[in-house]
Amino acid sequence: MADKVRETQQYLHQKLKYIGLGNADTTQDEFATQIHRDTLASLAMHKDLLLYNATATSSHPELYRQNLIKSMVLPLDRGP
């Protein structure tokens, strides 16, 4: 019984820590948007990933970071 209580407490702690997980009322589009923004934020804040992607696109790392941050504001285009 104590394990179940501990698991519930850990789950609630993780849910508060990682707000992008959502809840039972989170739609698929909201979830996809959160994952997309989390990925862009991770790329923008990790120096090595930023440098790798900037080199692959032949752009300056700071310009690439700015473009990533700007694209976080835009809504996620799901297509037709």
User: In the prediction, which pLDDT does 18 show?
Assistant: 75
Please give the pLDDT value at position 3: 83
Domain ranges of the chain: 39-73
3-state secondary structure of 4: helix
Task: Kindly list the averaged pLDDT for each block of 10 residues, start to end, along the chain of length 80.
Answer: 83 78 78 87 94 96 94 74
| Maximum distance among all Cα pairs of the chain, rounded to whole angstroms | 57
CA-derived radius of gyration, the chain:
17
pTM: 0.69
Give the pLDDT score at 20: 66
